[in-house]
Amino acid sequence: MRGWEFVCTTAELLPGEKRSVWAGDTAILVFNLDGDLHALEDRCSHEDFELSSGTFDAAEGSIECILHGARFDVRDGRALCAPAYAPVAKFPVRVVDGAVYTRDDRG
């Protein structure tokens, strides 16, 4: 699958878990939210800091940046509270034969 980065197998990404992968120069964070897979850029829009260090709240469907407490919806990347106001980039996720893939599709 040209342009798609292998993340892990579906067995390695259980509900409530997250995994990060590099797609070229872009760090991407993939979430398993109750069996639905979502991918966001692994970078807080408020401060250039990795979201993968933060807490994934599967009950709320959010990730919190540990630097200043900004939270983002993992389904669409929108900012849920200050100090972040801008969303984080959302990326596509594919599952092929039990393998999870994502890519930076921003052209």
pLDDT in tens, 25-41: 999 999 999 999 999 99
Exposed, middle or buried: residue 14 (CB in 10 Å: 0-12, 13-18, 19+)?
A: exposed
Confidence label for 1 from pLDDT (cuts 50, 70 and 90): confident
pTM over 0.85: yes
Whether 70 is covered by a domain: the verdict is: yes
* pLDDT of amino acid 107: 77
Q: Average pLDDT, whole number, for the chain?
A: 97
Whether 105 is covered by a domain: the verdict is: no
Q: Measured between alpha carbons, how far is residue 29 from residues 18, 75 in Å? A: 7, 12
Whether 61 is covered by a domain: the verdict is: yes
Q: What's 46's domain CATH number?
A: 2.102.10.10
Q: Cα separation of 67 and 53, whole Å?
A: 9
Residue 2 contacts by C-beta under 8 Å, 6 or more apart in sequence?
Answer: none
Q: Cα separation of 30 and 107, whole Å?
A: 20
Structure tokens at 107: 């052209």
Domain extent for 25: 5-100
* pLDDT of amino acid 83: 97
Return the SS3 of 53.
helix
* Domains identified in the chain, total number: 1
Whether 107 is covered by a domain: the verdict is: no
Whether 106 is covered by a domain: the verdict is: no
* pLDDT of amino acid 100: 98
Whether 38 is covered by a domain: the verdict is: yes
